[in-house]
């Protein structure tokens, strides 16, 4: 009896500790999603905003309208490109922070985290100053004699990709750094002592070890990119329309809550499917590499 009592208490301890957090998630996340799901099947009413119904017209409207399909595919490719750039450019920085023994390491991490303390609108405004026709980028190119007239950098896909990548890169670097710091780097030295060059060591030794961290960082960054709002609105303008601003306009300007809710559900499902697919592909590559 003395042994069974602590065992039963230990079994109840985990669920008991998880219950408050689970309740918060239920109230803050799941219930609003269920409410949006219900709204997405209602009819749009210009007077009352929506009428209660069970119809799939809102989803049919989204998938049959070329404009909204284009908005979704634009969001997908911009998010995928920003995620790939963040992983490619962020990995060397994370590797350096994980391996360095410099006394300035804490300072570099603070400088990396500092942009996260600035609001997205403020950062977007800064990029507008840099990328405008009279901005820093065009002034520098003109001073170097590379251009005769200002380049149109603002309100283009380039501006959205550049600024979004800069916004999400700290998340990717911090995620990868935490994984790399747990790696025993002696395996790299062993591989090089056995004759492996840098490319072989990276792709056959280091990358498979940190694949779970790459998958986690990729999922986090991709979700952030898919749901970006301030950056596409301020830097993309009318030239680049993504899902979050489009569904926001449906709810606030058109007051079409049913169609806006359907767009929100499409965005959530597309983000979830693509994130899980990328995670599966990375883990599959990891398993294949380890087996070979």
Domain boundaries, the chain: 65-291
Q: Which two tokens stand for residue 12?
A: 């109840």
pLDDT at residue number 66: 94
d(CA 147, CA 33): 50
| Per-position DSSP letters for 167-182, written without gaps between them | HHHHHHHHHHHHHHTT
In the predicted model, is pLDDT for residue 283 greater than 70? no
Per-residue pLDDT reduced to its tens digit, 198-208: 777 777 778 77
In the predicted model, is pLDDT for residue 6 greater than 60? no
Contact 32, 24 (CB under 8 A): no
pLDDT at residue number 62: 93
Can you tell me the mean pLDDT for 39-63?
Answer: 87
Confidence of residue 7 (pLDDT cuts 50, 70, 90): low
Confidence of residue 219 (pLDDT cuts 50, 70, 90): confident
Measuring CA to CA, which residue among 236, 211, 213 is closest to residue 225?
A: 236
Torsion of CA 244, 249, 254, 257, to 10 degrees: 30
Per-residue pLDDT reduced to its tens digit, 128-168: 888 888 888 888 888 888 888 888 888 889 999 999 999 99
At residue 196, φ and ψ (nearest 5 deg) are -75, 135
Is 65-291 a domain of CATH 3.20.20.70?
no
Measuring CA to CA, which residue among 82, 87, 79 is closest to residue 214?
A: 87
At residue 182, φ and ψ (nearest 5 deg) are -90, 0
Polymer length in residues for the chain? 292
Q: What is the residue-averaged pLDDT of the chain?
A: 83
Positive/negative CA dihedral, 228, 229, 234, 239 = positive
Per-residue pLDDT reduced to its tens digit, 99-112: 888 888 888 888 88
């Amino acid at each position: 009896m003395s042994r069974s009592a602590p065992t039963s208490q230990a079994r109840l301890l985990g669920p008991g500790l998880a219950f408050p957090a689970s309740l918060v998630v239920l109230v803050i996340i799941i219930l609003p999603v269920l409410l949006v799901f219900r709204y997405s099947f209602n009819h749009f009413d210009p007077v009352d905003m929506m009428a209660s119904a069970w119809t799939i017209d809102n989803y049919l409207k989204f998938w049959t309208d070329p404009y909204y399909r284009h908005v979704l595919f634009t969001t997908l490719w911009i998010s995928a490109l920003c995620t790939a750039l963040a992983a490619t450019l962020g990995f060397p920085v994370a590797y350096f922070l994980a391996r360095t023994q410099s006394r300035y390491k804490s300072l570099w991490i603070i400088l990396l985290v500092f942009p996260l303390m600035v609001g997205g609108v403020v950062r977007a405004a800064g990029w507008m100053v840099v990328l405008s026709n009279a901005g820093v980028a065009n002034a520098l190119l003109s001073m170097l004699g590379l251009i005769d007239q200002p380049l149109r950098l603002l309100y283009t896909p380039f501006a959205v990709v550049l600024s979004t990548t800069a916004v999400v890169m700290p998340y990717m670097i911090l995620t990868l750094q935490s994984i790399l710091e747990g790696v025993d780097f002696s395996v790299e030295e062993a591989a090089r002592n056995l004759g492996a060059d840098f490319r072989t060591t990276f792709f056959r030794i280091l990358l498979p070890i940190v694949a779970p961290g790459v998958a986690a960082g990729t999922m986090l960054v991709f979700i952030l990119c898919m749901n970006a709002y301030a950056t596409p609105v301020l830097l993309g303008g009318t030239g680049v329309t993504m899902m979050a601003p489009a569904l926001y306009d449906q709810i606030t300007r058109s007051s079409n809550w049913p169609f806006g809710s359907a767009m929100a559900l499409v965005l959530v499902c597309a983000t979830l499917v693509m994130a899980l697919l990328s995670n599966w592909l990375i883990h599959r590559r990891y398993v294949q590499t380890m087996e070979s």
